[in-house]
């Protein structure tokens, strides 16, 4: 009984907020630009990649880092107007 309670408690661990420097380092390491990777304070478990058409290796890199840090990667495709 105690073991199952501890296992459930481990799953309920709140997500840790990563600061802008950490997220920018991850973004650069995955071939992205500064500011394209964000974590919202209201939804700490979500790691948002905001980029127009990220490559499969970039998506895989972000997803892998997110998993290692207990986060869920979300990919937001944005079409920026040309001009």
pLDDT at 5: 45
Closest CA to 50 of 64, 66, 39: 39
pLDDT at 54: 93
Q: Where are the domains of the chain?
A: 15-76
Could you tell me the mean pLDDT of each successive run of 10 residues in the chain, 83 residues long? Answer: 47 76 97 94 93 94 96 87 75
Residue listed under structure tokens 């919202």: 40
Q: What is the pTM of this model?
A: 0.76
pLDDT at 67: 96
**CA–CA separation, 6 and 26 (whole Å):** 31
**CA–CA separation, 42 and 4 (whole Å):** 29
């Amino acid at each position: 009984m105690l073991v199952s309670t501890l296992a459930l408690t481990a799953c309920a661990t709140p997500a840790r907020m990563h600061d802008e420097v950490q997220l920018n380092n991850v973004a650069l390491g995955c071939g992205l630009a500064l500011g394209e990777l964000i974590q919202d304070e209201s939804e700490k478990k979500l790691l948002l990649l905001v980029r127009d058409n990220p490559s499969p290796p970039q998506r895989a890199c972000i997803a892998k880092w997110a998993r290692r840090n207990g986060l869920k990667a979300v990919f937001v495709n944005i079409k920026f107007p040309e001009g």
